[in-house]
Amino acid sequence: MKTKKKYGLFSVLLVILLIVVVATYFIDGRDGSVSYLAIGDVFLNYVQSIYYFFDTIIFILVVGGLYGALNKSSSYKKLVTDIAGKMKEREKLFVVVSTIVFALLASLTGLNVILLIFIPFVVSIILLLGFDKLVALSSTVVAVLVGFIGGIFITFRDASNQYATSYTTFDKLVGLDSNYGNIFPKILLLVIAIGLLIFYTLKHIKKIEDGEIKNELSNNDVFFVEPRDKSGKKVKVDYSKKKSWPIMVMGVILLVLLVLGFMPWNSLFGIEVFNDFHTWLTELTIPKFNLFGHKFSEYPVFTSLISANFSAFGEWGSLGTYMMAVVLIALFIFILKFVSRVKFSELMDGFIYGVKKMVPAVMIVMLAYTVLVCVYNNGMVETIISSALDSFGDNVIIGALIAMVGGILHVDVYYTVAGVFTPIVTGLSEEANLSVYAVMFQSLYGLVQIIGPTSLLLIVGLSYLEVPYSKWLKYIWRFILMLLIVILIVLMIVSLL
């Protein structure tokens, strides 16, 4: 029974992959001819997904390792249990605040995947407060994706050039002067979606309190920071001598650095101060003086005291990589050893354990990426889009359906924009519809990520918390339906403006 739960999502992705393979025998590819996708190519694409998205896979594994290491720290356990203890009698308030904070962070920074670093921390507190796994997922993963739906600063690499390092938004990509042209519908979507999510989550909690549904807590020991004996019973531990504030400070600094590093300040706002500072810093030299007849300033190691390979703030994601986040996590763990006074060997044991716990999630993520590689390389979605535009013209409803299907088939937002959004807007004849399509695509992509089996954040959340995909669908479908209605109403408003 446990195996069935664990691999439910994997099975759904296999079915999607099979449908894609069959579809390639009937739908023309990008070159205008039927391009069959052989079974052998599917296996090769699975392996290739490791190569194409190596940084994402490493990032997910390292996040698991981070919390495996943190669980070796008594200071971290004290921090989590103290927060949970202080929120007793105010449990629902914590859920509400968590939802709002994650949604706002996602909306204002666009760092959806990066926020995965902080999700297990909040999940641990929510579970300690006695809420079930569905509440934990709603207040973190879904909150982030709701922030994407109403995202004010959602950025991605310029899809018009595969090798571009500059970042753009849905609005700028369609030729709108700035991101602020659609700011009203985005804020409207954000406020309504957050309110709807809070209402939906609290209603679920109320049903548990009334005994209408069962409260299922996770038995995942990576999230349960309370000490337990071999039988699973709680063990009282005195944390009074432990200091938790250094870890909290480290966490805040980590968040600030991630926002500074990954937010594309230059391409989004035209702010060049970080690039100018980086140039000045990397060109620092030791003053000229001679030692044994040698001028120190002549040696490259002294010409650039700070490695230029460390990009400026705002440029960390310019190559579409999360490796700078991995570097910061490694530094966090290194400092954790001294702050928590934990043996390095214990931290490494915890790190390795956390990585192992994340492997099932990574295996499923790789399958989702395999779907992307198969679809994008074949190009049949572009053929479908071209045929739809020829048959229906600038039809927002058809565009919305294509956007939703395309969102399911493309786990990565860059490839979704390149393989779905760009072909749609390129074929539009009415420029007045560009603003509508920008809001539509962003909101519907976020909506699909809440329920779609190829959603990276959802895959990690469901797999790590061991929530069956069928249970998630049964829980979330009403929220998706209500949110879809809200999005359609907002799109109607935008089309009339």
* Tens-place pLDDT, residues 32-53: 777 788 888 888 889 888 888 9
2 versus 282: the higher-pLDDT residue is: 282
Instruction: Note whether 61 and 359 are within 8 A (CB).
Output: yes
Distance CA 487, CA 192 (A): 10
- Residue 5 has a pLDDT of 45
**Per-residue pLDDT tens digits for 341-355:** 888 888 899 999 999
Instruction: Note whether 223 and 461 are within 8 A (CB).
Output: no
Predicted confidence band of residue 1 (pLDDT cuts 50, 70, 90): very low
Predicted confidence band of residue 6 (pLDDT cuts 50, 70, 90): very low
Q: Is the pLDDT of residue 31 over 50?
A: yes
Q: Is the pLDDT of residue 394 over 60?
A: yes
- φ, ψ at 377 (rounded to 5°): -65, -35
User: What is the chain's percent helix, strand, coil content, to nearest 5?
Assistant: 70, 0, 30
Burial zone of 200 (CB within 10 Å; 0-12 exposed, 13-18 middle, 19+ buried): middle
CA proximity to 17, closest of 361, 417, 375: 375
Most confident region among 54-63, 70-79, 167-176, 181-190 by mean pLDDT: 54-63
Instruction: Note whether 364 and 9 are within 8 A (CB).
Output: yes
Q: Is the pLDDT of residue 239 over 50?
A: yes
What rounded mean pLDDT belongs to the chain?
Answer: 84
Angle of CA points 481, 487, 492, to nearest 5°: 130
Predicted confidence band of residue 295 (pLDDT cuts 50, 70, 90): low
**Per-residue pLDDT tens digits for 65-102:** 999 999 888 889 889 988 988 998 899 999 999 999 99
Distance CA 255, CA 194 (A): 22
Going 218 to 219 to 222 to 227, the CA torsion angle's sign is: positive
- In the chain, pLDDT over 90 holds for what percent of residues? 39
Place of tokens 């560009």: 434
Predicted confidence band of residue 223 (pLDDT cuts 50, 70, 90): low
Torsion angle of the four alpha carbons 27, 32, 34, 37, in this order, in degrees rounded to the nearest 10: -90
Q: Is the pLDDT of residue 382 over 70?
A: yes
Q: Which residues of 374-383 are buried (b: 16+ CB within 10 A; e: fewer)?
A: bbbbbbbbbb
Angle of CA points 212, 469, 186, to nearest 5°: 90
CA proximity to 445, closest of 146, 80, 176, 65: 146
Instruction: Note whether 141 and 109 are within 8 A (CB).
Output: no
Torsion angle of the four alpha carbons 244, 248, 254, 260, in this order, in degrees rounded to the nearest 10: -160
The DSSP code sequence of 357-412 is HHHHHHHHHHHHHHHHHHHHHH-HHHHHHHHHHHHH-S-HHHHHHHHHHHHHH--S
Residue 120, amino acid? P
Q: Is the pLDDT of residue 120 over 90?
A: yes
Full-model pTM? 0.90
Instruction: Note whether 61 and 362 are within 8 A (CB).
Output: yes
Instruction: Note whether 375 and 381 are within 8 A (CB).
Output: yes
- Residue 213 has a pLDDT of 82
Determine the average pLDDT of the residues in 130-159: 90
Determine the average pLDDT of the residues in 391-412: 85
156 versus 113: the higher-pLDDT residue is: 113
Instruction: Note whether 287 and 233 are within 8 A (CB).
Output: no
- φ, ψ at 156 (rounded to 5°): -160, 165
Distance CA 202, CA 138 (A): 10
SS3 313: coil
- Residue 15 has a pLDDT of 92
Instruction: Note whether 133 and 472 are within 8 A (CB).
Output: no
> And the tokens for 42?
């599917």
- φ, ψ at 260 (rounded to 5°): -60, -40
Q: Which residues, in sequence order, are CB contacts of 265 under 8 Å at separation 6+?
A: 271, 273, 274, 313, 314
The DSSP code sequence of 151-173 is -SS--EE-TTSTT---EE-HHHH
Instruction: Note whether 140 and 441 are within 8 A (CB).
Output: no
How crowded is the C-beta side of 335, counted as CA atoms within 13 Å? Answer: 14
H and E: helices and strands count for the chain: 24, 4
Instruction: Note whether 395 and 357 are within 8 A (CB).
Output: no
Distance CA 180, CA 186 (A): 10
The DSSP code sequence of 273-305 is HHHHHHHHHHT--PPP-EETTEEGGGSHHHH-S
- Residue 135 has a pLDDT of 94
| Annotated domain spans of the chain | 52-229+240-264+314-496
SS3 38: coil
Predicted confidence band of residue 191 (pLDDT cuts 50, 70, 90): very high
